[in-house]
């Protein structure tokens, strides 16, 4: 099965490309990525010299290019990770989210349909379901109720995927996963941002009271679920993915402080994210029971390994943080930190 993976130079996509090459030694993986601020070829360094991994720098909104790649490489299936992925950036500017996540997904669907691609897997998120109170978990049947520009754009993309299934008979599947952590995550997201700040003894900016809850999963467990759904998921279905590992942000931050040998004086409660979703929790019974998926990583060990990875790879983070990231950090945090 020849695959076209989009966003394969990002955090989760690069982990998936590695998995796909391990699982299918004879199949080609065409990795399409525009290399935005979040795309990084260093994430794929261990695949250098692999003749079955073909990296193509291209934008998913370029429908003609997508069609050419699908035809030239006789692609059987698309695994679609490419996206603008950060909620805080979607609050600063929503337009890129509409462009890539909605228009980009639509262009890719059209190209897939024209090329007769056998299966289209849309990588989506639990955030499409909105925010939970203290009890319960999202199920596949929970009505979507997105509340941030990011989740609105992912929901719209999911709707287009379902529309192509129902209208054009395309074989589509959707995975919706909870918050990922692990190596190579861009340091705008909670866990790598806090790890890198703690290494340097910089303040850790916790939004609001820090009692917001996320359901954490190791990136490799997510990728294994995606691959199972690709192989064995039922057409037209949605599969929730999560590792039943809910933590308030303060717990995660305190654990990172312990793992990095820092004390709690670094914590700063800064002005909250607007529209901040209070709690996410996933019911992943369907993917577990129907497809036999199980997460392999325990959170405490996984987080300790992640801290160790960032410690062992300072050059990776330094290169990111020497560029446009500085401006982003300033815009996002300077006035918040000044307010504390
Ligand atoms: P990321 O930001 O690390 O990577 C996104 C990748 O997409 C980058 O390599 C970027 O260059 C590429 N890209 C962006 N716009 C593009 C375009 N127009 N054309 C081609 N490539 C483009 O994101 P991530 O955290 O790895 O997330 C990957 C996917 O998983 C996204 O669809 C996201 O919504 C979904 N997801 C993420 C999480 C999470 O916790 N990070 C959880 C559930 C679902
Ligand atoms: P994030 O990693 O941005 O993922 P998402 O918003 O998609 O869940 O944030 C995870 C949680 O951490 C969320 O409740 C917001 C919070 N957070 C902070 O408190 N401070 C920060 O600097 C960041 C980036 C996130």
Tokens 């990095």 found at: 260
Kindly report the number of other CB atoms within 10 A of residue 12's CB atom: 23
Residue 322: the pLDDT is: 85
Is residue 258's pLDDT more than 90? yes
- For residue 206 and ligand 2, the question of a CB distance below 6 A is answered with yes
Half-sphere exposure of 100 (CA within 13 A, CB side): 23
C-alpha of residue 308 to centroid of ligand 2, in Å: 21
168 vs 166: CA distance, rounded Å: 6
Catalytic residue among 129, 150, 280, 328: 150
Candidates 3.40.50.300, 1.10.390.10, 1.10.1060.10, 3.40.50.720; correct CATH number of 3-339? 3.40.50.720
Residue 227: the pLDDT is: 98
Q: Which atom of ligand 2 is nearest the CA belonging to 213?
A: 14
C-alpha of residue 210 to centroid of ligand 2, in Å: 9
Q: Which atom of ligand 2 is nearest the CA belonging to 150?
A: 7
Shortest-distance Cα residue to atom 7 of ligand 2:
87
Spatial contact of 27 and 19, defined as CB atoms under 8 Å apart: no
- For residue 123 and ligand 1, the question of a CB distance below 6 A is answered with yes
Residue 14: the pLDDT is: 98
- What value does the mean pLDDT take over residues 276-288? 98
How many residues appear in the chain?
Answer: 340
197-249, pLDDT tens digit by residue?
A: 999 999 999 999 999 999 999 999 999 999 999 999 999 999 999 999 999 99
Kindly report the number of other CB atoms within 10 A of residue 64's CB atom: 9
Instruction: Please indicate whether residue 129 is annotated as part of the active site.
Output: no
Tokens of 274: 């607007």
265 vs 147: CA distance, rounded Å: 33
Going by C-beta distance under 8 Å and a sequence separation of 6 or more, which residues neighbour residue 118?
A: 76, 77, 171
Tokens of 96: 């890129």
Torsion of CA 107, 113, 114, 116, to 10 degrees: 140
Domain ranges (residues) in the chain: 3-339
Tokens of 271: 């002005």
Is residue 115's pLDDT more than 90? yes
8 vs 16: CA distance, rounded Å: 7
Instruction: Please indicate whether residue 126 is annotated as part of the active site.
Output: yes
Q: Which residues pair with 241 in a beta bridge?
A: 177
Q: Which burial class, exposed, middle or buried, applies to 265 when counting CB atoms under 10 A from its CB (0-12, 13-18, 19+)?
A: exposed
- What value does the mean pLDDT take over residues 286-306? 98
Residue 187: the pLDDT is: 98
Q: Which atom of ligand 1 is nearest the CA belonging to 185?
A: 3
Spatial contact of 96 and 243, defined as CB atoms under 8 Å apart: no
- For residue 161 and ligand 1, the question of a CB distance below 6 A is answered with no
Against a cut of 0.95, is the pTM above it? yes
Residue 340: the pLDDT is: 87
122-169, pLDDT tens digit by residue?
A: 999 999 999 999 999 999 999 999 999 999 999 999 999 999 999 999
Q: What is the crossing angle of helices 105-115 and 149-168, to 10°?
A: 20
- For residue 240 and ligand 1, the question of a CB distance below 6 A is answered with no
Spatial contact of 28 and 56, defined as CB atoms under 8 Å apart: no
Closest CA to 14 of 2, 38, 27, 26: 38
Mean pLDDT of the chain: 98
Spatial contact of 117 and 70, defined as CB atoms under 8 Å apart: yes
Q: What is the crossing angle of helices 190-200 and 314-321, to 10°?
A: 100
């Amino acid at each position: 099965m020849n695959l076209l993976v989009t966003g394969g130079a990002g955090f989760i996509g690069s982990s998936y490309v590695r998995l796909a090459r391990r699982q299918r030694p004879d199949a080609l993986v065409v990795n399409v990525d525009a290399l935005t601020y979040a795309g990084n070829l260093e994430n794929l360094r261990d695949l250098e010299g692999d003749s079955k991994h073909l990296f193509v720098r291209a934008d998913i909104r370029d429908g003609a290019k997508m069609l050419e790649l699908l035809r030239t490489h006789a692609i059987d299936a698309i695994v679609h990770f490419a996206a603008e992925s950060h909620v805080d950036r979607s609050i600063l500017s929503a337009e890129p989210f509409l462009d890539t996540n909605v228009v980009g997904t639509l262009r890719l669907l059209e190209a897939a349909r024209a090329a007769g691609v056998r299966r289209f897997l849309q990588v989506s998120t639990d955030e499409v379901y909105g925010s939970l109170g203290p009890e319960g978990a999202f199920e596949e049947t929970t009505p979507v109720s997105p509340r941030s520009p990011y989740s609105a754009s992912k929901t719209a993309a999911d709707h287009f995927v379902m529309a192509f299934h129902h209208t054009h008979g395309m074989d589509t599947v959707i995975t919706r996963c909870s918050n990922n952590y692990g190596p190579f995550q861009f340091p705008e997201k909670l866990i790598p941002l806090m790890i890198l700040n703690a290494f340097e003894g910089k303040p850790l900016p916790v939004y609001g009271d820090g009692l917001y809850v996320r359901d954490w999963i190791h990136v490799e467990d997510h990728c294994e679920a995606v691959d199972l759904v690709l192989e064995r998921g039922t057409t037209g279905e949605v599969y929730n993915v999560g590792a039943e590992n809910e933590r308030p942000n303060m717990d995660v931050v305190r654990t990172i402080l312990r793992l990095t040998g820092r004390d709690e004086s670094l914590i700063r409660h800064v002005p909250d994210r607007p529209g901040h979703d209070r709690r996410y929790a996933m019911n992943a019974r369907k993917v577990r029971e129907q497809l036999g998926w199980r997460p392999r990583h325990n959170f405490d060990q996984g987080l300790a390994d992640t801290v160790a990875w960032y410690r062992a790879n300072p050059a990776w983070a330094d290169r990111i943080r020497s560029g446009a990231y500085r401006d982003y950090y300033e815009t996002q945090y300077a006035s918040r930190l000044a307010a504390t």
